């Protein structure tokens, strides 16, 4: 599974990239608002830090404007992935942009048939929102499983990008089902490496080493 981080905080992205944990980044208008900086500046800086896809979202609602905005975003850096909403206009724009060789992430997916349509439109990534389905008492993981089965049935190349991930268990379950990518907040990505028994074992090793009176240096 590939790991993307869902943030527009360049400092957080740099820290995780330096640790070798990142395969890409996803942003959205809400994250850009939180960062409180010009969008193009943020995306350009992120693309300098991360070699993998960096999703940047259009704000237009009509196909022609989505295409126009998408090409502007893609002009920022070679690894920009144009993020489009899962609407009919968005799928038309997806077909056009992927046909021209651009990376496209179709976002706000909440059903398997939506994901099927995005794959038929040539989407590079489909972003089903797990947490938001859980919020309304639906099973987000069931959606991931349904999309995986449909894509495997027909040999679609579109990658399943599990989004709106809230917990470590979301990551584990998405990986078991076969999601290609998980995009997670920085705090969740850091938490994936933690376990109380790891901390306990390390404390014991260090205490025993100190008791030997030795030094590696």
Which residues are the active-site residues?
Answer: 83
Q: 130 with 140: CB under 8 angstroms?
A: yes
The two beta strands, 24-26 and 2-6, are: parallel
Three-state SS for 182-216 is EEECHHHHHHCCCCHHHHHHHHHHHHHHHHHCCCC
Helix axes 88-99, 63-74, angle to 10 degrees: 40
d(CA 124, CA 140): 21
d(CA 39, CA 66): 16
Q: 118 with 109: CB under 8 angstroms?
A: yes
Other beta carbons within 10 angstroms of residue 166's beta carbon come to 16
Q: 97 with 129: CB under 8 angstroms?
A: no
């Amino acid at each position: 599974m590939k790991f993307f981080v869902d943030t527009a905080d360049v400092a957080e992205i740099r820290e995780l990239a330096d640790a070798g944990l990142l395969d890409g980044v996803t942003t959205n208008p809400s994250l850009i608002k939180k960062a409180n900086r010009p969008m193009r500046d943020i995306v350009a800086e992120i693309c300098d830090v991360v070699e993998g896809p960096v999703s940047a979202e259009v704000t237009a609602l009509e196909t022609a404007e989505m295409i126009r905005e998408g090409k502007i975003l893609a002009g920022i850096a070679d690894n920009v992935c144009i993020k489009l909403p899962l609407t009919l206009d968005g799928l038309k724009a997806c077909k056009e942009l992927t046909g021209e060789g651009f990376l496209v992430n179709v976002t706000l997916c909440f059903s398997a048939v939506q994901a099927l349509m995005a794959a038929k439109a040539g989407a590079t990534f489909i972003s089903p929102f797990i947490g938001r389905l859980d919020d309304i008492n639906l099973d987000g993981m069931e959606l991931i499983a349904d999309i995986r089965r449909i894509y495997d049935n027909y040999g679609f190349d579109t990658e399943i990008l599990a989004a709106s991930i809230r917990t470590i268990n979301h990551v584990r379950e998405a990986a078991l089902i076969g999601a290609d990518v998980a995009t997670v907040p920085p705090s969740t990505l850091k938490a994936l490496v933690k376990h109380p028994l790891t901390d306990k074992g390390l404390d014991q090793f260090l205490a025993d080493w100190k008791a030997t009176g030795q030094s590696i240096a």
